[in-house]
Amino acid sequence: MSMKSIPHRSNVFQQVKVIPIQEVLERYGVVMHGKYALCPFHDDHRPSFYVYDDGFYCFACGANGDSVSFVARLLNVRPLAAAHDIAARFGLPVERIRDRQQVKEELKAATEQIEAQRALRGWAHRAYVRLAAYRRCL
């Protein structure tokens, strides 16, 4: 009997790290001048944003990191959401893994739907009772 292995979820971070950081930066609107660019995280007038092969560093504001941390900071999202955004923009097939916030939102939506259905049944019952009472008066 062969044992089925539990499907290993693909690591989106490893998949997007394959994309050169220069391509990621350009896809998000950073205009490169060789290895330098204007920093998108502050009002930069001289290129102080240096791009290495595997990361970036701004000599003016100190921002640094890799492509995922760049997108996370630029879009003000968590690193997992940033990695998924990069994957989507580059057309990488990545299975979307729900995070806690998504689960909370789905649970809240389901609860609101149940409450709305319950309220609708209550209104329908009250309308039926009033209509029945009205018919008896006729």
Same domain, 103 and 85: no
79 and 107 inside one domain: no
Q: Does residue 6 surpass a pLDDT of 90?
A: no
| 35 occurs within a structural domain | yes
Please check the confidence at residue 9 and state whether its pLDDT lies above 60.
Answer: no
Instruction: Judge whether 6 lies within some domain.
Output: no
As a whole number, the mean pLDDT across the chain is: 84
Give the residue-averaged pLDDT of 67-94: 90
Asked, for residue 4, whether it belongs to a domain, the answer is no
- Model pLDDT, residue 70: 95
| 3-state per-residue secondary structure call for the chain | CCCCCCCCCCCHHHHHHCCCHHHHHHHCCCCEECCEECCCCCCCCCCCEEECCCCEEECCCCCEECHHHHHHHHHCCCHHHHHHHHHHHCCCCCCCCCCHHHHHHHHHHHHHHHHHHHHHHHHHHHHHHHHHHHHHHC
16 occurs within a structural domain: yes
**Residue 79 shares a structural domain with residue 28:** yes
pLDDT bin (cut points 50, 70, 90) of residue 52 is very high
pLDDT in tens, 68-77: 999 999 999 9
Question: Do the domain assignments include residue 108?
Answer: yes
Total domains present in the chain: 2
Residues 25 and 63 grouped into a single domain: yes
In a domain, 7, yes or no: no
- Which pLDDT value is given to residue 56? 95
- The pLDDT score that the predictor gives to residue 40 is 93
Q: Which residue has the higher pLDDT, 27 or 109?
A: 27
Q: Are residues 63 and 114 in the same domain?
A: no
Domain limits for position 37: 12-89
The residue with greater pLDDT, 16 or 101, is: 16
Residue 7 has pLDDT above 50, yes or no: no
pLDDT tens for each residue of 10-51: 588 888 989 999 999 999 999 888 899 999 999 988 899 999
For residues 66 and 18, state if they share a domain: yes
pTM for the model:
0.62
